[in-house]
Structure 1
Amino acid sequence: MSVVKINAITVPKDKQERFEERFKGRAGAVESTPGFEWFELLRPVEGTDQYLVYTRWESEEAYRVWESGQDFARAHEGGGSELAPAASNSSHLWSYEVIESAAPDRP
């Protein structure tokens, strides 16, 4: 089954625009990584200042290979020193196994 990695990153209100810009400038190499399935950046709407960075992988091994490679380092440069750092030092990486999923029924 697939695995999901969610990075919960606290971003103060006054740095949110800058943080989002970092993701717009990301290398994009993750999309062609073997085993990569999905990416989403989730902006908080209310009740929190934590952004969620959601990635889905075909296996834990596929994620670990990417995490230990150069593409991971490039993706986390975040647009260079002009845009970094935007987030605080508060982040948490959560790991989940997908045990059930559904998609819309479409003919």
Structure 2
Amino acid sequence: MSIVKINVLTVPPEQRETLEKRFGARAGLVESSDGFEWFELLRPVEGTDQYLVYTRWRDEESFQAWMEGPMKAAHQGGGGEGGGERARPAASGSQVWSFEVVQQAAPKSDQA
């Protein structure tokens, strides 16, 4: 069954817009990766400064291949807004949580 990786990003209030714009600009990068199933960027509503980056993968090997390929290239590339130096991170901290999916449910389809 699938695995879930949640990157927990500590983002100061003044960096929220920057983080969200950067994720928006990278739309489509992860979706084309073999084994990719789902992505969500979750903005905190209250009580925390931590964003959650939720990704779901077919298996650990698919996730690791993405980390060593497209993800690594994206983070090592120029990335700076001016095309020169690499932009400073919007997050002040990060950690990755890993889970195996043991149960799941999908919405019921409308039946006429």
Q: TM-score, normalised by structure 1?
A: 0.89
**How well do the aligned residues superpose, as a CA RMSD in angstroms?**
1.8
Alignment of 1:14-93 (within 5 A): 14-26=14-26, 28-69=28-69, 71-76=70-75, 80-82=79-81, 84-88=88-92, 90-93=93-96
79 and 42 in structure 1: CA distance in 2 versus 1, 3 angstrom threshold: farther
Q: TM-score, normalised by structure 2?
A: 0.85
Moved more, 33-42 or 76-85: 76-85
The number of residues matched between the two structures is 105
What is the one-letter code of the residue matched to 2:32? S
Q: Shift of residue 9 of structure 1?
A: 0.3
1:103 aligns with 2:71: no
Deviations 1:36-90 (A, max 9, x none): 0000000000010000000000001111111111x112444698223542111x1
- Give the percent of matched residue pairs that are identical in Structure 1 and Structure 2: 61
Q: Select the structure of larger CA radius of gyration.
A: 2
Q: Shift of residue 27 of structure 1?
A: 5.4
33 and 27 in structure 1: CA distance in 2 versus 1, 3 angstrom threshold: same
Gaps of 5+ in 1: none
Q: 2:50 & 2:32 partners in 1: Cα distance?
A: 27
